[in-house]
Structure 1
Amino acid sequence: MHARFLGIGDLVETPSVAVVVDVMRAFTVAAWAFARGAEKIVLAESLDEALALKARHPDWMAIKDGPPAPGFDTVNSPGLLRSIDFGGRTVVQKTTAGTVGALAVKDAPLVLCAGFVVAEATARLLRTREGDSVTFVVTGEDGRADEDLACAQYIARRIGDARTDAAEFLHRAAASRAAAELAEGVRQGVHPDDVALCLEVDRFPFAMVAASEGSLMILRPRAVPALTDEGPVPV
């Protein structure tokens, strides 16, 4: 399988398979929301759209980057939302990089959103697409965020070899600028456990698939068979 690694601004054509990576913190947060019972996540194009969707659907929950703000239920922090019960709820998410990256490839036949917490499930689903070229969208820092690139390269390596050791890739992510900014409180809306939670490999057994549903881009969890009973996964 051929893999390429691009920033959002480097996308000039619609890929056949896109893996949008945002480790710190959009897609770690999304995975936690699903683990806490969310049914689906709407990836909003703007804060205004997120608030408008929330206004039309008061039972939905809205998440944003940065500090708490009126109209939003919580912020983009896995440490802060891991105790929230999302049972059966729809979540609207707007972040600086992750949701932007997913929307940039919304016309791709297959769009996966990923972080370390769903790495193996993502790689396992991609193994069923042997022969496809995979574009990893490195969302942070105009494609230069080392935590996102490390995770993308780790997943790419895991596609071919499930025994790939995560240590080198986690070390790079832990030493990234994003990790430092979270740890030092430079960013707002942060929990002290956020970096550690973003670096938990294979915490969750599902991949996350985004697809257009009507006018919205919707992210949903996708269970992936274990290695021993692996077979074609419907996409």
Structure 2
Amino acid sequence: MDARFVGIPELAEAPSVAVVVDVMRAFTVAAWAFGQGAEKIVLAESPDDALALKARHPDWVALKDGPPTPGFDTVNSPGLLRSIDLGGRTVVQKTTAGTVGALAVKEASLVLCAGFVVAGATALLLRVRECDSVTFVVTGEDGHADEDLACAQYIARRAGDAGADAAEFLRRAGESRAAAELTEGVRQGTHPDDVALCLELDRFPFAMVATLEDALMVLRPCTVPSRTDEASTG
């Protein structure tokens, strides 16, 4: 597989296949939302757009980066989200980097959103679909966030080698600037367990696929059958 690693500013045009990585914390939060029963996640262009969607759909759950904000139901923290029952609900998510990266490649034929918590399923989907060329969008710090780059590199390696060791990649992420800022309380709207939850490898068994639905970028979980499963089911 030909893997390319770019920051959001380097996206001159939409690639064919894009894996958008935000470990701390957008797509860890998205995975936890699905783990808590959410049906889908709408990726909002701006906080105002998120609030407008919430106004039209009062039963939707709106969340964003930073401290609690009027109009939003919760914040972009896996530690806080894991205690919320989202059974059958739609979530509206707006973050500083992750949602921006996904929206930047919305015209791609396949858009996956990922973090370590869904790394294995994401790599498996790339392998099963035989994706020859993949652009990994490293969303944090204009493409320089080591936690996102480490996760992207790990997924790329695991797509070619299912037994790839994650230890070094997880170490890099744990020593990243984002991890330090979360640990030290520099970022608002956090929970003490956020970093540990973001570094939990393969916590969830699904990949996350984003597609355009009625002009909205919508993220949904996708269970990926292995080639063995496909063969056994005919």
TM-score scaled by length of structure 1 = 0.97
Shift of 1:181: 0.1
**Contact 1:16/1:132, CA 8 A, preserved across alignment:** no
Q: Which residue number in structure 2 is paired with residue 209 of structure 1?
A: 209
Within 1, Cα distance between the matches of 2:77 and 2:88?
A: 20
**Contact 2:63/2:72, CA 8 A, preserved across alignment:** yes
- What is the number of residues matched between the two proteins? 231
SS at match of 1:42: strand
Within 2, Cα distance between the matches of 1:132 and 1:11?
A: 19
- Judge which range, 201-210 or 131-140, deviates more: 131-140
Structure 2 residues without counterparts, runs of 5 or longer: none
Shift of 1:108: 0.2
Q: Which residue number in structure 2 is paired with residue 4 of structure 1?
A: 4
Give the 3 Å change call, closer, same or farther, for CA 131–25 of structure 1 in structure 2: closer
Q: Which residue number in structure 2 is paired with residue 221 of structure 1?
A: 221
Matching of residue 45 in structure 1 with residue 72 in structure 2: no
**Contact 1:18/1:105, CA 8 A, preserved across alignment:** yes
Give the 3 Å change call, closer, same or farther, for CA 230–201 of structure 1 in structure 2: farther
The aligned amino acid for 2:156 is A
Shift of 1:144: 0.1
Within 1, Cα distance between the matches of 2:14 and 2:215?
A: 18
Within 1, Cα distance between the matches of 2:35 and 2:140?
A: 24
The aligned amino acid for 2:161 is D
SS at match of 1:19: strand
The aligned amino acid for 1:115 is G
Matching of residue 92 in structure 1 with residue 92 in structure 2: yes
Q: Which residue number in structure 2 is paired with residue 26 of structure 1?
A: 26
SS at match of 2:67: coil
SS at match of 1:212: strand
Within 2, Cα distance between the matches of 1:167 and 1:228?
A: 27
Shift of 1:129: 2.7
SS at match of 2:92: strand
**Contact 1:21/1:151, CA 8 A, preserved across alignment:** yes
1:60-79 paired onto structure 2 within 5 Å = 60-79=60-79
Within 2, Cα distance between the matches of 1:131 and 1:112?
A: 12
TM-score scaled by length of structure 2 = 0.97
Give the 3 Å change call, closer, same or farther, for CA 74–216 of structure 1 in structure 2: same
The aligned amino acid for 2:35 is A
Q: C-alpha root-mean-square deviation of aligned residues, in Å?
A: 1.0
**Contact 2:128/2:227, CA 8 A, preserved across alignment:** no
Cα-to-partner distance string for 1:28-74 (whole Å, 9 max, x where unaligned) = 00000000000000000000000000000000000100000011000
Q: Which residue number in structure 1 is paired with residue 171 of structure 2?
A: 171
Within 2, Cα distance between the matches of 1:215 and 1:14?
A: 16
**Contact 1:17/1:132, CA 8 A, preserved across alignment:** no
Shift of 1:131: 4.8
